[in-house]
Structure 1
């Protein structure tokens, strides 16, 4: 039987906002650790050279941060601190995350 069904039958889980928030809080650290691990593996794995010679190859993190090493254009748009502060004022935040 499903754990939530058992808890519902014992009146320990009603599925209201507090119950869902407590479950989310309990698993948030675990999920964030998993996401960080996946991001680290992805950013540091090597992309092999392809038959298409115009496709760059290397490690994604280095390709992103140092595009000039691969002979490609840097498409990042610089933003001033004032623009960032204006955007933050207009964002709704949940805890520390905009």
Structure 2
């Protein structure tokens, strides 16, 4: 660093001006924004994961596994299953004419802007998927798995039901664990399930508009 300051002080000064400033995440209440994303660490072994988390409460809305998480129709099915279970969306937004209808009813963004689900994936790997990654890697090292389509289908046939059961258990545990308060956060702390269903306890209210960030 001393050499860089001596050789190119102007560029070093410009870099310092663009230094990172920590920002705080804020959501008005449950259902204002859902963060959806795909988890691809197990894709080489034939299992693709899709997850969605509520930005305010950090409640996992769905955590599902299948053969793909790339096709919009697959994600739409997860979304419709979720809202049908919750029974809080009266209609889809394609044919409406207000300011939040059609393409404006959802947002696309970079992974850095999709911070809720992106940061959760790192927790998910430590607590769950690292075991499965090690297991499948061991099968590959022992030449029981060669990455072909047939072997990926076999992995899904043998493990997908067990794996989805683990995802369901993990989602239940996460939604009922206690999130500790963080000084930099503007969102409340507590159990995601409680914050989602009883936002008035935290001086927030349930929102009527849902966004999904992918």
Q: What's the TM-score, normalizing by structure 2?
A: 0.28
Between structures 1 and 2, the one with greater strand share: 2
Cα distance in 2 for partners of 1:20, 1:55 equals 41
Match of 1:25 in 2: 157
168, 171, 192: which one aligns with 1:60: 192
Change (3 A) 1:6 1:17: closer
- Gap runs ≥5 in structure 1: 8-12, 79-98
Question: Which structure has the higher relative contact order (CA within 8 Å, separation 6+)?
Answer: 2
Between structures 1 and 2, the one with greater helix share: 1
Cα distance in 2 for partners of 1:72, 1:31 equals 35
Q: How does 1:10-89 map to 2 (within 5 A)?
A: 15-50=147-182, 55-77=187-209
Q: What's the TM-score, normalizing by structure 1?
A: 0.52
The Cα shift of 1:18 comes to 2.7
Larger radius of gyration: 1
The Cα shift of 1:76 comes to 4.5
Runs of 4+ deviating beyond 3 Å:
2-7, 13-16, 48-55
- Gap runs ≥5 in structure 2: 1-137
- Counting matched residue pairs gives 72
